[in-house]
Structure 1
Amino acid sequence: MTNTCFKVFPLVTVLLLFCHAQWSNAQTGPSGCTYSDDVFTCDYSTMTSSERPIDYSGFSIAPQTLIVNINGFLPDSSDGRTFSTGFSGIDTSGFDANLPAALTIDCERGGSAFISAGAIYDMDYVQRFTVRNCDIFNFASDTVDGFGQLDYFAIHGGSITSIDVGAFGGLSVEKLNQTFPRQHGHFEIQYSKFTSGSLTVGLLYDFAELNSVAIRGGNVSAISADTFRYNTKLTMIDISDNTFTSLPSSVFDGLDLLSDVKVYNIDWECTCDNLAWLAYTYAENITLFGDFACANVEGIAIGDSCQNVLGIIILSITIISLGLVMTALALAILTARQAPAGPDQEAEPVAEIDKVEDLSKPAGNKNAVVAKGARGAVRAGKAQD
């Protein structure tokens, strides 16, 4: 019986794997789209006008994870939309409850992207949206409002020439009440460099429900005092690997839920004014992560000031010395308290002074005397006649 089980189980496993492979390969998409490992990939950049917009009815199953490769305009300049209207009635009942519905716009090897209104019409079932490896020349107004709500918005790699101030109008990035694990409520721009060196003014104004944000490696030369002003539910901010050298003193004011700030690889210019924001983070118990080294002087940021090497050495010696003194004092007090109490000691008798004639003097000379007491000899002055 045991031998039979060992023979049958491997056979069943092979059959299941074979059937899964057949099922996976059996899934099809519209012209220009392929399927592999539960992911549909559509090469939008090579689609002809007759193949656009991407036709929902051409998918054999609803696409829970969809990648669209582009190089140029999205949607195409001759079209009004990227996806057909059929996506508005998508049936999500067959989705894996452990995964978010995800859409990725991928420029592959550094292609260009001009993303305009109509790019994501009728895609409001999507919960996670990513733009990857694109040199974004224009992210137009009202581009992503069709999502309504997202759990996660990201731009990774490439560069950003222009993001319209109204690009995110009507979009909310927040922790969604969904079944998949780990809701994020997260917005990030990771190593996608702003060619101007500046963030779009008001970039995050519309995200009142945002839980965390990362603008990392974006070539950002300045963070303004109002960058996060309207994101009052933020718990984490990551602004590492940028070119700014200071932060406004009030940059984190009003963010009562903020607990973590990451500022790795920043060349801090240490002055009293530039480091005032540190005092706020200490007072509000915000945890800082980063390399707090001053670029304009040799030293590191300690508290709201920058200490040079000599200052650090002196400060360290002072702290160590103070520690040793306090330790010695504590030991002395402890020893005194633990010493056993002895019997009462009698007071020493007062020395009695005996007048003895100095035999070294000639007889009859009584002008000099020696006063001897219990503790030694004391020379007395000449006696009066």
Structure 2
Amino acid sequence: MYFGNCALVLFFTVVTYSNAATFPSGCSYNDLVGSVHLYKCTFGTVSLPLTYSGFNNPLPQWIQITKINGNMNAGSFTGFGSYDTTQLSHDKNPTLQLFCTTGGSLNLQATSFNTMGYIQEVEISNCNVNLPDNVFSPFGTLNKLTISGGTLTLNAGSFSGLTIAPIDKYTDPAGALIIKDLTLSGDFPTGVFSPINGTKTIRLENIGLTSINSSVFSTNIGLHTLSLKDNAIVDTIPTDFFDGLDGLVNFDQTSFLWTCTCDNVWWWPKSVKKGITIHGAAICNSPADVAGMLVTKYYETSCATTSVCGDTIGVAIGTTCLPIGYLVGFGLIFVMLIFCIVSLACICHMKKTALAGPVKKTRKGPPAPGANKRGGEEEEEEEARRKGVPKRKDEEVDGCD
């Protein structure tokens, strides 16, 4: 009985709280788990524009519009710029969901979402939609933008004025653009993803891609995860595909139809060098003799060249590897040898100079007075000695002195 009374009290509490919510005709209120507040509105039944003042107790943190097939013209939302963000629940990012009927169209204008700047996540599902330039700019910054099902036509400025970045104020700080399970009408316009260059995750999955241009993501320098899974990309990807994506850590290429040649599988060693984790089995689709082989095995058996030095930094000479340490050592020894040779030459020169004694100086200029006289006497003495003439007496006296 006690349990039944508690359940009855809880039931009336929920009903009273639900009944206290106010919302426009054509909408309903759902209190999920008592904290995540969802307003569901049916397109064609609810009158547009939706007005902020038409929702109360709680405020519209999560709006879902279903069964869309038609126009959401300029000013489809009014007054939401007055949203009191201090009343937001931290259990759910402020979210707007637009769900079309099967085969339904969603026609948007650049100002369709005016005043909706408090919204942080947008989801468009099962719609045939053309995204005009600046259509998402009223949101300012989104934590996540998801477009799935139906058909999608992009214009060069579809994401102009929009920032997609992780918002960690509430739940799931993603910073993600997700486009999946739809038919892409035409190709990606040039520069379409440039405005959202801070996006951490881009997932373009199962949208009918058969090739990809290297310039599509060239400006997305903040990209951490890129998924192109479930697209039948044929042959290979451009050799400059990873250029500029220095922050890329994860790349999903599941279902790619790789043509395995050494030129085509360039991305495998490049991803290893850049520290990019490849998700999904990379399998050769052709030529026939390698069909079904893992790209990693194909590269290792057909393309990889084994260096004599392996992982050692050095110089390969024939079948011998000279490590860089040896080369540096040899270089130092050679320099020291040259130094020793020069030093030895200097020592030898100095020793030879010391043994030779002082250098005699040669007098230059006219002879000193009497020099000619003395020279004449010496010549006479030499002549006398040859003839056997004895010295004069005065000479003998002089010789004894």
| TM superposition score normalised by structure 2 | 0.68
Task: Tell me how far apart the structure 2 counterparts of residues 244 and 74 of structure 1 sit (CA, whole Å).
Answer: 35
Equivalent residue, structure 2, for 1:96: 89
Which residue of the other structure, out of 157, 165, 171, is the alignment partner of 2:149?
A: 157
Task: Tell me how far apart the structure 2 counterparts of residues 303 and 292 of structure 1 sit (CA, whole Å).
Answer: 8
- Does residue 296 (structure 1) correspond to residue 286 (structure 2)? The answer is yes
The answer on whether the counterparts of 1:168 and 1:206 sit within 8 Å (CA) in structure 2 is yes
Which residue of the other structure, out of 11, 18, 24, is the alignment partner of 1:17?
A: 11
Cα distance, 1:243 vs. partner? 2.3
The answer on whether the counterparts of 1:152 and 1:173 sit within 8 Å (CA) in structure 2 is yes
Equivalent residue, structure 1, for 2:189: 200
- Does residue 225 (structure 1) correspond to residue 200 (structure 2)? The answer is no
After superposition, the Cα gap between the structure-2 partners of 1:25 and 1:217, relative to the gap in structure 1 and judged at 3 Å, is: farther
Cα distance, 1:122 vs. partner? 0.6
Report Cα offsets for 1:240-294 as digits up to 9, x if no partner: 0112222112212222221111111222222333221222101112111112122
After superposition, the Cα gap between the structure-2 partners of 1:52 and 1:300, relative to the gap in structure 1 and judged at 3 Å, is: same
* Residue pairs, 1:1-385, within 5 angstroms: 8=2, 11-37=5-31, 38-47=37-46, 51-60=47-56, 61-69=58-66, 70-75=68-73, 80-84=74-78, 86-136=79-129, 138-160=130-152, 162-178=153-169, 180-196=170-186, 198-245=187-234, 246-297=236-287, 298-303=291-296, 305=298
Report Cα offsets for 1:39-61 as digits up to 9, x if no partner: 112223344xxx32111111123
Report Cα offsets for 1:135-174 as digits up to 9, x if no partner: 12x21111110000000011011111x2111111110000
Report how many aligned residue pairs link the two structures: 291
What are structure 2's unaligned runs of at least 5 residues? 32-36, 303-401
Cα distance, 1:32 vs. partner? 2.3
Is 266-275 or 150-159 further displaced after alignment? Answer: 266-275
Equivalent residue, structure 1, for 2:390: none
Q: Percent identity?
A: 27
After superposition, the Cα gap between the structure-2 partners of 1:304 and 1:232, relative to the gap in structure 1 and judged at 3 Å, is: farther
The answer on whether the counterparts of 1:195 and 1:219 sit within 8 Å (CA) in structure 2 is no
Equivalent residue, structure 2, for 1:344: none
The answer on whether the counterparts of 2:124 and 2:147 sit within 8 Å (CA) in structure 1 is yes
- Give 3-state SS (helix, strand or coil) of 1:157's partner: strand
What are structure 1's unaligned runs of at least 5 residues? 1-6, 312-385
- Give 3-state SS (helix, strand or coil) of 1:42's partner: strand
Report Cα offsets for 1:4-49 as digits up to 9, x if no partner: xxx54553244123311331243231122222232112223344xx
- Give 3-state SS (helix, strand or coil) of 2:252's partner: strand
Letter in 2 for 1:144: F
Task: Tell me how far apart the structure 2 counterparts of residues 43 and 117 of structure 1 sit (CA, whole Å).
Answer: 22
Letter in 2 for 1:193: T
Could you say which structure has the higher helix fraction?
2
Cα distance, 1:134 vs. partner? 0.6
In our comparison, the structure showing a higher alpha carbon Rg is 2
Task: Tell me how far apart the structure 2 counterparts of residues 227 and 295 of structure 1 sit (CA, whole Å).
Answer: 25
Task: Tell me how far apart the structure 1 counterparts of residues 183 and 215 of structure 2 sit (CA, whole Å).
Answer: 21
- Give 3-state SS (helix, strand or coil) of 1:277's partner: helix
Equivalent residue, structure 2, for 1:359: none
Could you say what the CA RMSD is over the residues aligned between the two structures, in angstroms?
A: 2.1
Task: Tell me how far apart the structure 1 counterparts of residues 115 and 52 of structure 2 sit (CA, whole Å).
Answer: 11
Report Cα offsets for 1:274-324 as digits up to 9, x if no partner: 22122210111211111212222324243494689xx8xxxxxxxxxxxxx
| TM superposition score normalised by structure 1 | 0.71
After superposition, the Cα gap between the structure-2 partners of 1:205 and 1:71, relative to the gap in structure 1 and judged at 3 Å, is: same
Letter in 1 for 2:99: D
Task: Tell me how far apart the structure 2 counterparts of residues 115 and 146 of structure 1 sit (CA, whole Å).
Answer: 13
The answer on whether the counterparts of 1:264 and 1:291 sit within 8 Å (CA) in structure 2 is yes
The answer on whether the counterparts of 2:281 and 2:294 sit within 8 Å (CA) in structure 1 is no
Task: Tell me how far apart the structure 2 counterparts of residues 220 and 263 of structure 1 sit (CA, whole Å).
Answer: 12
